[in-house]
Chain A
Amino acid sequence: MSPTPRPDESSVRGYIEPELYDVANSTWAEDIPFYVALAKAARGPVLEVACGTGRVLLPMLQAGVDADGFDLHSGMLEVLRRKAAALGLKPRVLQADMRDFTMPRRYPLIVIPYRAFLHNLTTADELRTLRLCREHLDSGGRLVLDLFYPSFARLTEPDGRWRLEKEFTHPQSGAPLALWSCATRDRVNQTMHVQMELRELGPEDDVLATHPHTFDLRWIYKAEMELLLRTAGFSRWEVTGGFDGRPLLHDTDLMVWTAWKD
């Protein structure tokens, strides 16, 4: 991989401790078989943008896919490398910003799983990322990414109110956990600042430890995403409402986008 100046990690500084990322997101897995199946069918190398701890990238490698990945968060990549070593895998991953990356090869498939694309907080950043992805695609190649549809109920909930996202158990220890979130929104610029707390619970639901973290994202509407793809040079795309290919009908659906480079 070509040496590039070390990217500015300040935007991910508030992110969850890398050691806890997989724990906090252990209940989100339905995208893994979707992306692995796409990657296996890609007939060529695959690039995962914002690969993080390898939640999707490592299953791709295990499936025999020639996959590259990058992420802005060096701590996440350390976790990825450690997990890979334990699995006997040799991942090719590097630290890079999705708005400013260069890879030495071109891909028939680029994926940006788990709404990482929403970490672009301006239209200009969204376009930079899409244009770079398009540049790194083979002709006929496709970019696949998933977003949430900005649901009316979520967008109109009061700012600054803590809500319980989920109660679950630690995937290894079985200890009870709770994930809480509190969002404040800028509805003009379509951005939200999210504070989260992963709470380790005791036998009486008492809180044994709290792991606060934050991130920012910018939500995107369906029609807006079509204009972004078009502006970035894509001429053909489709969207579904979930990884099962259901039509996008409701504002509680996911948006799973596929955009082809001609």
Chain B
Amino acid sequence: MSGPARRLGSEAGAGPAEAPAPRPAAASPGGSAFPSPFARPDLYDVLFADVDSDLPFYLELGRGAGGAVLDVGCGTGRLLLPLLQAGVDVEGLDLSAPMLERLREKARAQGLEPRVHRASMSSFSLPRTFRLVMIPFNAFVHNLTAEEQIATLAGCRRHLEPGGLLAFDVSAPTPARLAQPPGRRELEVESEHPVTGLPVRLWDARRFDVVAQTQHSHIEIEELDGAGVVAATHRSAVVVRWVYPAELELLLRLAGFARWQLWGDFARGPLAADAGLTVVEAWRD
């Protein structure tokens, strides 16, 4: 991974969809409080803009789609803007208005005119269909119930042309992560602010409910000053629900898909037992 962001974790909860039912966050001295980790897209970009492990995969799919592309959970445009720059006819949707606003600002600065919509991935309706629908960066785990999961997949399928492809990736916590003491603060990402040059850190204190397959994160984003002292702390909470591969196949089937392929990484390697990542390609017949 290049650039200043050092992403330490790659598991559930980092995706750019709006946090469902966020817990009200406590105000912290010297910092603003916000209920969702996606309410400060500027800091989100400092932390995540340089994630690129999935970029070649989605960029190649977008370029080869031979038609319109929809980026579900497009966030601040980490993938959508490179797709636009590559000349792909791409639209996006995201639940977070601040994230979309930042995407538009970044696009303007690059002379691009994105078509993005504020909508929920489980209930969106757009006037056209697509050759490729993608749900990148683990955004799918923000669906907390089977109804939401199936509605999201069925909605994506409805927006596919015949023969079109749905591509997405999900992460489940690895055994090593599940074995961590619950609630222990882990440093997930440490980045350098591109303007101020000051460090920004993302900490996550997680608890897992393995029966419900939910991860309950208490996130703290810290802005440090020149002396290395925490100048501001932004707290938020998010719940995500992970999915196992066999479960994912049942969800695809219930959503109307008949043909799919599951991979263990973005290079289309086999599923790996304890890696947690599942990359899905599902075709509409």
Contacts and interface: CB of A to CB of B under 8 A. Distances in A.
Contacts of B211: 149, 222, 248-251, 253
B244 A156 contact: no
B179 interface: yes
A231 B210 contact: no
Given A152-B175, A228-B250, A187 B210 contact: no
A190 B249 CA distance: 13
Given A152-B178, A221-B244, A123 B271 contact: no
B247 A223 contact: yes
Q: Which range holds the interface residue count of chain A?
A: 20 to 34
Contacts of A149: 211
A226 interface: yes
Interface string B183-213: 0000000000000000000000000001111
A190 B274 contact: no
B251 interface: yes
B166 to A, nearest CB: 18
Contact of B210 (A123, A188, A230, A251): A251
Contact of B273 (A152, A187, A222, A248): A187
Q: Which range holds the interface residue count of chain B?
A: 20 to 34
B98 to A, nearest CB: 31
B227 interface: no
B177 to A, nearest CB: 11
Contacts of A231: 250, 253-254
Contact of B250 (A123, A156, A187): A123
A152 B210 contact: yes
A251 B250 CA distance: 22
Contacts of A155: 175
B109 interface: no
B178 A123 contact: no
A204 interface: no
A148 to B, nearest CB: 12
B164 interface: no
A188 B247 contact: no
Contacts of A100: none
7 contacts: A152-B178, A152-B210, A156-B179, A187-B274, A188-B245, A223-B146, A226-B146
Interface of A: 123, 149, 152, 155-156, 186-190, 221-224, 226-228, 230-231, 248-251, 253
Given A186-B273, A250-B211, A251-B211, 5 more contacts: A149-B211, A155-B175, A156-B178, A224-B244, A227-B250
5 pairs of A and B residues whose beta carbons are closest in the complex: A187-B273, A227-B250, A224-B247, A156-B175, A188-B271
